[in-house]
Amino acid sequence: MATNIILCVIGFIVLIYAADKLVEGASNLAMSFGVSKTVVGLTIVAAGTSLPELVVSINASIKGNASLSLGNAVGSNIMNIALILGVSALICPIVCEKTMVKRDTPLMIGATLLVWYLAYTNQTISYNEGIILLVLFFSYFIMTYIVGKKEAAENPEPAEATDKPLPSNLKSTVYVIIGFIGLVLGAEALVRGAVEIAQSLGVSDEVIGLTLVAIGTSLPELATSIVAARKGQSGIAVGNVVGSNIFNILAIIGTAATIPMFSDKIAPLAASEQMLGLHIPIMTVTALALLPIMKTGMKIVRLEGLILLVGYIAYTVMLIQTAGAAAPVG
């Protein structure tokens, strides 16, 4: 027990340090390359903090555990909005840029609805549909960078009040890489310790899978957004969440769905009745709810953050209460 507690503490410390370096490096790169911090949050930071979800989903798909692969992405998306933005807004109200409200969040909602439709048809996302999702992801990634660079040139962000010159691009890139690696390692240590503690306390593997795995793979997003919120980097905080959700839907689910095309022994990415009837609809409702929250005053204020957080706690309690009666996710 003591060893696992120490592992959790070490993982938490690594997460916070890595998130700090990632935010610092990404923020400096944004200013250096002339793109907004929101664009960096939507692309580089979002892709990096979603690495744990990608690894878990690919491994689960290869091992034939399609429900875990799909459930990890769906559960992480719910957590990203309800828990991560909720906690970040409680720390500091999050300012939402117009492009985020008018373009990126609606695109996230559209991607969510598309995956719901694909999963609903035949209860399976085929490898052809997976390829479509991947094409959409790369198209979005490229479009975000090109449009974001153009918008940043037309409406440059005000320079930060500091006499210190920007560090070199090499140093900022090293910070980003250190942040990515640290986030993955820190999340792994924290999840492993938490799972061992939960098992020693008699918590079922099913409950652990429904809660700790989804939370664990989203810890990089949580750490990064909280650090960004505390530093007043609202663009990175909200861009990280919206970008991660788009990455989870298009890139991770798309990748997991295309894996069966390389081997007949790997089952297609199928969606269970519970996934179609409960978890994907909740993910969709959460995504839809985010847009009006962002539109009110172009901010996510503390009260709205509290509502999101309470909603996630209610969802988690429901998962724990229904875990015994539900079929195992794995």
Burial class (CB in 10 A: 0-12, 13-18, 19+), 149: middle
Residues 6+ away with beta carbon under 8 Å from 79: 214, 215, 218, 222, 312
d(CA 31, CA 79): 30
The runs of H, that is alpha helices, within 155-252 are 169-200, 205-208, 214-217, 219-230, 234-246
Domain hosting 100: range is 37-147+202-322
Asked if residue 175 is part of any domain, the answer here is no
Asked if residue 166 is part of any domain, the answer here is no
CA distances, 309 to each of 82, 91, 306, 312 (Å): 6, 12, 5, 5
Q: What is the pTM of this model?
A: 0.76
pLDDT score for 185: 80
Asked if residue 26 is part of any domain, the answer here is no
pLDDT score for 51: 72
Asked if residue 165 is part of any domain, the answer here is no
Low pLDDT (below 70) residues in the chain: 16, 19, 23, 34-35, 37, 56, 59-60, 63-68, 151-166, 187, 190-191, 194-195, 198-199, 203-213, 322-330
Using DSSP bridges, classify how beta strands 124-125 and 269-270 pair: parallel, antiparallel or unpaired.
antiparallel
Tokens of 17: 């340090």
pLDDT score for 11: 76
User: How many angstroms separate the first and last alpha carbons of the chain?
Assistant: 25
Whichever domain contains 134, its CATH number is 1.20.1420.30
Helix axes 169-200, 2-33, angle to 10 degrees: 150
Asked if residue 47 is part of any domain, the answer here is yes
Closest by CA position to 260, among listed 70, 47, 40, 22: 70
How many domains does the structure of the chain reveal? 1
Asked if residue 188 is part of any domain, the answer here is no
Residues 216, 81 contacting (CB under 8 angstroms):
no
Residues 6+ away with beta carbon under 8 Å from 177: none
Asked if residue 30 is part of any domain, the answer here is no
Q: Please give the radius of gyration of the chain, using alpha carbons only, rounded to the nearest integer.
A: 19
Asked if residue 327 is part of any domain, the answer here is no
**118-121, long-range: CB < 8 A, 24+ apart:** 119/70, 119/271, 119/275, 119/276, 119/280, 120/271, 120/276
Using DSSP bridges, classify how beta strands 94-95 and 299-300 pair: parallel, antiparallel or unpaired.
antiparallel
pLDDT tens digit string along 99-112? Answer: 889 888 999 999 99
d(CA 163, CA 32): 16
User: Per-residue b/e over 122-142, b at no fewer than 16 CB within 10 Å?
Assistant: eebbbbebbebbbebbeebbe
The amino acid at residue 25 is: G
